[in-house]
Amino acid sequence: MKERKLRTRPVILSGEYSLPFAEKVAEHLDLPVTPTTVTHFANTEINAHIEDSVRDATVFAIQSHGAPVNDNLMEHLAIVQAAQLGSAHEVTAIAPYRGYGRADRMAKPHDAFMGKLSMQFFELAHARRFIEVDPHSGQSSGFANGMLYESIPAAPVLRDDIANVMATLDNEPVIVSPDFGRDKLNERYAALLGGLDLAVIAKNRDGVNHVNVQRVIGEVAGKVCFMIDDMIDTGGTIVKGAQALRDRGAAAVYIYTTHPIFSDPAGERLSKAVADGVIKEVVTTDTLRIPNSFDPGVVRTVSVAPLVAAAITKIYHGESVSGYFNGETHH
């Protein structure tokens, strides 16, 4: 990355969990990942030490909060604070996947508000800015009262991959929302892909990670369905949705997701659905690691590292991140 005409310099830091992803980002920027040592103590406490000076640097600390979420979240905070205490000019915390993103409200009185609380930790660590990819809720920006907030849409890379798959199809494609909450976002995908038809799966929840599919709204018979969601956790909802589409005559079902959380038994469920022909293919981004328990060939990954690199470049040069992505200027 070309240095701007200021005294600052860009520095990329990473936690242990996201080091492979951070290296991809750094490669796009023609920068190294500055070494950071994270010490794990016997009582499970941690400490972070940055091996090189970050004095007066513009620091970008990358870490996804994958499982174990609390460990990786705390490691991220330690790295951010270590950079701030090391006299960095400013520190941007980048969480390709942010833990507690679904905890965007109190479900009932006297519940903890973990989505907001986890963001406030980064304010206490003196992060200047917080960035995440495809937040689960638009409320996320409201949690960052004392720091700047940016979100990066995964739409450009998922859109391009879907377009490549569509080019190989004989059947008409349709975009499917796994629920009404995703409907507005998937309308954007349908528009970006040339004005495709849109279908929605109506469902209700009767417990944590337990969903009943009620009906499919929209025409899917004989069509290739692209079901897009921001995350897949245990895989139960997405497999039931795919089965509902196939039961209504869909020719094939492709699953696209930004965040492959893939808690057990996601591997077993998705592997069986692919083997049984319920799902044609599962495509995810690399915001999180794919668990080793997954059978080879079940999941294909596309990278959002170029998008994160583009956001870092915009921030470093004092340009608008949201304007860049909202304008769809990248391809």
Q: Are 285 and 304 in contact (CB under 8 A)?
A: yes
Biggest CA pair distance of the chain? 62
Q: In whole angstroms, what is the distance from residue 227 CA to residue 282 CA? A: 10
Element of type H or E holding 115: helix 114-124
Q: How many residues does the chain have?
A: 331
Q: Given the structure tokens 């940016």, which residue do they identify?
A: 150
Q: Output DSSP code: residue 21.
A: H
Q: Is residue 203 annotated as part of the catalytic site, yes or no?
A: yes
Q: In whole angstroms, what is the distance from residue 286 CA to residue 261 CA? A: 11
24, 203, 240, 280: the catalytic one is 203
Beta strand pairing status for 210-217 and 197-207? antiparallel
Write phi, then psi, for 109 (nearest 5 degrees). -55, 145
Number of H helices, E strands in the chain: 9, 14
Q: Given the structure tokens 């696209």, which residue do they identify?
A: 256
- Please give the structure tokens belonging to residue 128: 């200047």
Which burial class, exposed, middle or buried, applies to 23 when counting CB atoms under 10 A from its CB (0-12, 13-18, 19+)? middle
- Please give the structure tokens belonging to residue 242: 């795919």
Q: In whole angstroms, what is the distance from residue 123 CA to residue 183 CA? A: 32
> What type of residue sits at position 278?
V
Q: In whole angstroms, what is the distance from residue 233 CA to residue 17 CA? A: 18
- Please give the structure tokens belonging to residue 245: 């589409």
Just list the catalytic residues.
203
